[in-house]
């Protein structure tokens, strides 16, 4: 049985007049916050408010860089060269870390967003460029990502700590990959099911599959999405279920 598990969430995704999610509530329910850095979502004021909320609630602040794709919310695959990805990582990380320093805190880890997250799991050259750029910025910053992919190998090669992530509110295929958004079973929104999946991940390291099998992931952190309808109540149910199961919820970083 896991003694402890991290609960992370993608937050700070509002932009200008457009509001997404209930950050005020969600920062009080999770232990790590993946904050958008202005490319796929977020803006300087939203980022600053996210830093303030993280500091107020004692939540680990994570940089959540993505493709330069506000219109597509970073979920469209872009053919950016590895060296461009590395430069854009540093640009986004530096922006959030600067705002954090002004509040007396620091970015504690990095997790890629959306289509970039998936690319880094499969593209060895892109993953190496990403990890090497992060190691050059701060070799003490961990990478949070999907286990067993190119980014885990690249992070290890660059001397970075790699934290394994699993999703309680997303469906997996037997190949270990998340089901594409829009496919049957891709999104899991029923609170009791999401809570049960989170407990299984924390206590057994595995998540149930639709065919009756189970996928071994052994996560350090469990992700919930802040833009899921009813996300705050879902997070409350998940956290309560974990604590009822004797799992201590704490930041991995």
- Pair 223, 111: CB distance under 8 Å: no
The tokens describing 102, both together, are: 């002004």
Coil, helix or strand at residue 236: helix
- Pair 16, 44: CB distance under 8 Å: no
Q: Which residue has the tokens 């700590």?
A: 161
CA distance 102 to 207: 40
Instruction: Tell me the domain boundaries of the chain.
Output: 4-249
Per-residue confidence (pLDDT) for residue 1, from 0 to 100: 45
- Gyration radius of the chain over CA positions: 17
Domain 4-249 has CATH 3.20.20.370: yes
How crowded is residue 48: how many other Cβ atoms within 10 Å of its Cβ? 16
Q: At what angle do helices 124-137 and 114-122 cross, to 10 degrees?
A: 110
On the 0-12 / 13-18 / 19+ scale of CB atoms within 10 A, 175 is exposed
Coil, helix or strand at residue 82: helix
Interval 134-180: pLDDT, tens: 999 999 999 999 999 999 999 999 999 999 999 998 889 888 888 88
Per-residue confidence (pLDDT) for residue 110, from 0 to 100: 98
CA distance 68 to 157: 27
pLDDT < 50 regions, the chain: 1
- Whole-prediction pTM: 0.94
């Amino acid at each position: 049985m896991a003694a402890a598990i991290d609960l992370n969430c993608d937050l700070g995704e509002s932009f200008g007049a457009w509001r997404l999610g209930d950050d005020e509530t969600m920062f009080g329910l999770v232990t790590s916050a993946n904050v958008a850095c202005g490319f796929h979502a977020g803006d300087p004021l939203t980022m600053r408010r996210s830093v303030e909320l993280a500091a107020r609630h004692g939540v680990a602040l994570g940089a959540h860089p993505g493709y330069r794709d506000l219109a597509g919310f970073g979920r469209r695959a872009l053919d950016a060269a590895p060296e461009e990805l590395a430069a854009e990582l540093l640009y986004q990380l530096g922006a959030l870390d600067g705002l954090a320093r002004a509040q007396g805190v620091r970015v504690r880890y990095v997790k890629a967003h959306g289509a970039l997250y998936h690319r880094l799991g499969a593209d060895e050259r892109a993953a190496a460029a990403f990890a090497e750029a992060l190691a050059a910025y701060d070799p003490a910053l961990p990478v949070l990502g999907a286990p067993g992919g190119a980014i885990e190998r690249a992070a290890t090669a660059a001397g970075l700590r790699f934290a394994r992530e699993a999703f309680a509110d997303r469906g997996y295929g037997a190949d270990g990959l998340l089901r594409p958004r829009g496919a049957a079973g891709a999104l899991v929104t029923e609170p009791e099911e999401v809570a049960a999946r989170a407990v299984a991940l924390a206590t057994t390291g595995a998540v149930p599959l639709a065919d009756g099998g189970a996928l071994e992931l052994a996560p350090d952190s469990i992700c919930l999405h802040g833009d899921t309808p009813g996300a705050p109540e879902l997070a409350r149910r998940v956290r309560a279920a974990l604590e009822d199961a004797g799992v201590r919820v704490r930041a991995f970083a």
